[in-house]
Structure 1
Amino acid sequence: MMNSSFEQLATLLKAAADPIRLITLKVLQDSSYGVLELSEICGMKQSGMSHHLKVLASAGWLETRKEGNSIFYRRSLLTGAHQALLAQTWLALEQLELPLEVRQRAEKVHQGRIEAAREFFNKHAHQFKKHQDLIAEFESYDATVRQLLQSAQYQHQRLAIEIGPGAGEFLSTLSRSFDQVLAIDISADMLAKAQQRCEQQRLENVTLIQGEISGLDQATPAADTIIYNMVLHHVPDPARELRLSAERLAPSGCLLITELCQHDQTWAKENCGDLWLGFEENELVHWARSSHLVHRQTIYVGLRNGFQIQCLLFQKPEAA
């Protein structure tokens, strides 16, 4: 009888031995997509895409994650007997470039997610505090984030970047701690609220920018810290976002993430504009490590409404 280990390896290898499936694995390099999105990106019918995804997931290349009524696919984490093979395959795929039409369709899906988030926050900017407080008041994690910020070992404190500053509650802390602060948001209406707070508190070293970190001017200096306070569950591609942030960090610079732990409260999607129902800590750590960041510490904050917040600190290694 064939040894089960050989059978498992054969299944794993056969599952990936198809150009469309390899393209799918490449597309999922730093993103998570549903079957309809992957059908659009790969330019094929849903039935065909579903078959490819089923084969890849059954063999162990992909994992599924339920977000409300939707199922999203992502690459499997590097665990188990064949993690070395998966790691080498991911490395080989990193050297390949997706066909132009696939890249264009993936960007279209990404922009669709961005537009949905922008539309929500522009529409509900006047109710931001109300929506925020449905899950977690800023005051419930503010002290913990400040504690992590103070514990970070910086070479310099020249530039801090906050992505999605909301109404600007944390900008005063950053303004006191760093020479310059950039606050970046996709929503003009939310930036207007942050601008109002900056003017009230006379935060003259804070610059507000509408857009994404991917669109930041290349002449912008490397950041000593980048902050995401309760933002990643609104971001279309969290893994991609963390990779782009890691590239923007100076050597020994820190990435600070405050985020919901994974939950099953699907009402948050409609009422709070959430794309993702929180994250497991190992997901965030895996994405950060894949971007060559070192995990320094995690602090958890429990809330009376049953939600739990995780505050994570990562650091970019010093230049050799």
Structure 2
Amino acid sequence: MREQKTIGLEQLVEALRGAGETTRLRLLALLQSGDLTVKDLTQILGQSQPRVSRHLKLLVEAALIERFPEGSWVYYRPSKSPVGLTAQALLNTLNPSDSILQRDQERLAEVKSRNAETAARYFAQSAQHWDRIRSHHISERAVEKALLELVGDKPFGTLLDVGTGTGRMLELLQGHYADAVGIDSSLEMLALARANLDASKTTHAQVRFGDIFNLPVARNTFDVAVVHQVLHFLDDPARAIKETAQALRPGGRLLIVDFAPHQLEFLRNEHAHRRLGFDEAQMASWIDDAGLDLLSTTHLTPEKPRPDALTVNIWLAQDPRILIAADTMQTRSTVTSETV
């Protein structure tokens, strides 16, 4: 995790000047809830796009927020610079019951709800053809081969498949786990997943209806969790990673499969993608913030590049708690040996 550093007097003055306006403070407070676009923020604040963009520009210039273009969209998020962390500390002193801030949060919830409904409609319409759609974009055979290599041959106890979709990950890894749970928020997808599990005679896995941001599973329970091609549909991928990380037992592993950055805008309109892939630095930061150690990143690039071909990345992370415990035990053993 990054430690907050001190900043100079002039930096603090510039930060306070940058944040010292009602709309800009509201923007900073909203961005604490996750990445948002200009369109999102315009709908929430009820202000014109040029006005919101101007305030965002000033916040970027003051190093209070960061700007991340993704195709024709631009996302904004709080800066993790010393100035940005100082601003976040100040925001923590705001009264959450303030009527303006409360109304902003209500509108934020409405915007996210509409985005989720768009994705849900897509899932419902595409459930029967989901595997075919995925194969059109990237070779699933290559992805699955790489996943199996990362999981390894050693059996483990419990698997959590977040956003299970057709249940393919539960089928693929059925020879590795003792018990598994797949979670999805689409009833159509869950029906298809159950049918696929029945067809593959996968009897030691179950699927459940649930929210990726509030998983209906116990904390510290799973040896392995998989988030396969899910994050690009979400408004707040970082929150989903944190929620999944909390379900891992000490030493548990997390596998995230998703696209590398790309420019295929049609995926937004035709396939409800909210994000056009994820760069390595951003994913590493989210994994770190979730309290996990990033172990490796695997890049799967199509052998025959074409305009609609996508590169897939697989991030492997691990809960470090068991490693810390092991190091402590080793240190104690060494001390005892030297003492004797």
Q: TM-score range by the shorter chain?
A: 0.7 to 0.9
> CA distance change for structure 1 residues 12 and 89 in 2, over 3 Å: closer, same or farther?
closer
User: Aligned match of 2:53 in 34, 50, 60?
Assistant: 50
Cα offset, 1:142, TM superposition: 0.5
Which of 247-256 and 92-101 deviates more?
92-101
Aligned partners of 2:181, 2:64: CA distance in 1, in Å?
Answer: 39
SS at 1:165 equivalent: coil
What secondary structure does 1:120 align onto? helix
**Matched residues in 2 for 1:20 and 1:252: separation?**
44
8 Å CA contact retained: 2:28, 2:78:
yes
Q: In structure 2, how many angstroms separate the alpha carbons of the residues matched to 1:41 and 1:249?
A: 35
SS at match of 1:179: strand
Contact 2:296/2:315, CA 8 A, preserved across alignment: yes
Do the aligned residues in 2 keep the contact of 1:253 with 1:315 (CA within 8 Å)?
yes
Which residue of 1 is the match for residue 104 of structure 2? 102
Map 1:164-179 to 2 at 5 A: 164-179=163-178
Give me the whole-angstrom Cα distance separating, in 2, the residues matched to 1:217 and 1:121: 20
Q: Between Structure 1 and Structure 2, how many residues are aligned? A: 308
Separation of aligned partners in 1, 2:177 and 2:88: 38
Compared CA separation, residues 224 and 260, structure 1 to 2 (3 A): same
Quote the residue 1:198 is aligned against.
Answer: 197
Change (3 A) 1:318 1:112: same
2:146 corresponds to which residue?
Answer: 144
Please identify, of 264-273 and 296-305, the stretch whose mean Cα deviation from structure 2 is larger: 264-273
- 1:109-157: per-residue Cα shift (whole Å, max 9, x none)? 22211111110011122222332122113212111111222289xxx93
Confirm or deny: 8 A CA contact 1:131 1:272 kept in the other structure: no
| Displacement after TM superposition at 1:43 (Å) | 5.3
What corresponds to 2:284 in structure 1?
Answer: 285
State the 1:44 CA deviation: 4.7
Distance 1:23 1:223 in 2: 38
Mapped partners of 1:146, 1:95: distance in 2:
47
* 1:158/1:179 contact within 8 Å kept: yes
Q: Does the Cα contact within 8 Å between 1:174 and 1:181 map onto a contact in 2?
A: no
Percentage of matched positions with identical amino acids: 26
Q: Deviations over 1:186-245 (max 9, x none)?
A: 222222222111001111121111232334336576222221112211122111111211
1:134 to 133, 136, 140: 136
Residue 71 of structure 2 contacts residue 262 of structure 2 at CA under 8 Å; is this kept in 1? no
Q: What letter corresponds to residue 182 of structure 2 in structure 1?
A: A
Which residue of the partner structure matches residue 267 of structure 1?
Answer: 266
With the length of structure 1 as denominator, give the TM-score of the two structures: 0.85
For structure 2, the 5+ residue unaligned runs are 1-7, 326-340
| 2:85 equivalent among 77, 82, 87 | 87
For residues 179 and 107 of structure 2, the distance between their equivalents in structure 1, rounded to whole angstroms, comes to: 37
Alignment-derived partner of residue 62 in structure 1: 65
Q: Give the Cα separation in 1 of the matches to 2:187 and 2:33.
A: 27
Match among 312, 317, 327 for residue 314 of structure 1: 317
Find the partner of 1:113 among 115, 136, 157. 115
> How many angstroms apart in 1 are the aligned matches of 2:175 and 2:200?
11
2:318 is aligned with what amino acid? Q
Structure 1 residues 192 and 94: alpha-carbon distance in aligned structure 2, compared to 1, 3 A threshold: farther
Conserved 8 A contact 2:213-2:243: yes
Distance 1:241 1:94 in 2: 22
Match of 2:293 in 1: 294
Aligned-partner Cα distance in 2 for 1:287–1:138: 25
Measure, in 2, the Cα distance between the counterparts of 1:209 and 1:97. Answer: 37
Displacement of 1:318: 1.0
